Structure 1
């Protein structure tokens, strides 16, 4: 992702600079892309609005924001799957806003306005993300939240890995991190800088974010002396996405309830 070249699923991990780049390589894997049917058509018509903020690379970014009904420095940054910031993600953001009263919810856009409607397009967008640009967007959102912000993050798939990166970038502002079947950070030195524990949700049938990946993350977090809770489900990748044919309502609802409970605890909500 840090370069314009096409990343191959067969490239050696050493060729990638970080965990999110390793995950981006999967976009070239036909089995991976084939496991993501196009999302069902949907138009979000609830509360919230698109906002624009400055990013730390001198540009700007737009995001979908639902402000708390009361003045609050508590924020949840929501990071989209490989499809981009579509209306499904806006609806998910609205769900969290309703269930987490007193929290401002911002769904970021790491694709700079582009949204995929098929797996081929999604793969190209995911591979096209430059690490530096994504970090600038996240850092811009953190500045938008303000110096006193208490920040939690959540994301799925592509966004799961970036949820962990968001917690790292947030530094002392980080109060919570939920990652659904995303590529974990592998650098123990970086993990040692986390200011929060992590709730990691994964699917036992996932061929990519599999038990081996999760076990290594458990070892790395233990070495970094950071808290990690793993919720495993006998399901497949993207099981929490209602528009995916492998969606499991039972498991998805359980994982969502666990995520909400975790976020309430970490953000110290009443």
Structure 2
């Protein structure tokens, strides 16, 4: 029996290692007009058929190891994950002040440029032979959560849009009247960066549009609750929350299994 148990353990370790080894990552360059953008793609190389894709829109510091980590997690679930670049190749803020200024360029006005950069990434990944172009979900964190919702409002061809602690307001609420993708909003219940009036305005907007949305607020959570490098001082309005991180990822996985499941 001891020999059998040892063999089973070895088989399990081999299977896990093989699965991990099958995950491939690539740095890819694509363009929005003449602007060069640099994203990160992760996928399971053992899967030979087209499969659903997930676009990941970064937080205000630009594309970092955090989004690449999330792409790895999604690739292990069977998705083609594309961590996209909104700012441009080599544009990576190094301080909160610089990040705020850079992000502000995309959040201002009607968010035309922001939407344009998302569309460029969507068009790029839709041409990938590994991807089922009719089965793409967009998600985002903080600044990126706003972008995911904007993609849905803009009528981009995505089946779902997910915001992790993102901003909820838009300059073009009239676009929401014809919204089609299913939405999942994962929100810090005491996030001072997205106050109650903004939450209520968002719900009014979605209710008037008869949108199919879920809104989950996590008690004790503020902005950036999924990001460990945000620290743990909620008085700053930005802090990691382990329970909210874990629960929101599970809610996201449940949403994916409904909206865009991976078929074995």
* Post-superposition CA distance 1:25-64 (Å, at most 9, x none): xxxxxxxxxxxxxxxxxxxxx8411112232x34442211
Is structure 2 residue 27 aligned with structure 1 residue 50?
yes
Deviation (angstroms), 1:157:
0.9
| Bigger radius of gyration among the two | 2
The DSSP-based 3-state class of the residue aligned with 1:256 is helix
Is structure 2 residue 141 aligned with structure 1 residue 156?
yes
The Cα RMSD (Å) is 2.1
CA contact (8 A) 2:228 2:240 kept: yes
CA contact (8 A) 2:74 2:80 kept: no
**Residue 174 of structure 1 is aligned with which of 158, 182, 185?**
158
| Map of 1:87 onto structure 2 | 65
Deviation (angstroms), 1:135:
2.6
| Map of 2:122 onto structure 1 | 142
CA contact (8 A) 2:51 2:262 kept: no
Aligned residues: 221
**Cα distance in structure 2, aligned partners of 1:79 and 1:153:** 8
Deviation (angstroms), 1:219:
1.3
Task: Normalising by structure 2, report the TM-score.
Answer: 0.76
Task: Normalising by structure 1, report the TM-score.
Answer: 0.75
Is structure 2 residue 217 aligned with structure 1 residue 241?
no
**Residue 257 of structure 1 is aligned with which of 244, 250, 253?**
250
CA contact (8 A) 2:52 2:261 kept: no
Higher RCO structure, 1 or 2 (CA under 8 Å, sep 6+): 1
| Runs of 5+ consecutive residues of structure 1 not aligned to the other structure | 1-45
The DSSP-based 3-state class of the residue aligned with 1:48 is strand
Whose strand proportion is higher, 1 or 2?
Answer: 2
Deviation (angstroms), 1:263:
1.5
CA contact (8 A) 2:37 2:87 kept: no
| Runs of 5+ consecutive residues of structure 2 not aligned to the other structure | 1-22, 128-132, 232-238
CA contact (8 A) 1:76 1:151 kept: yes
**Cα distance in structure 2, aligned partners of 1:126 and 1:137:** 13
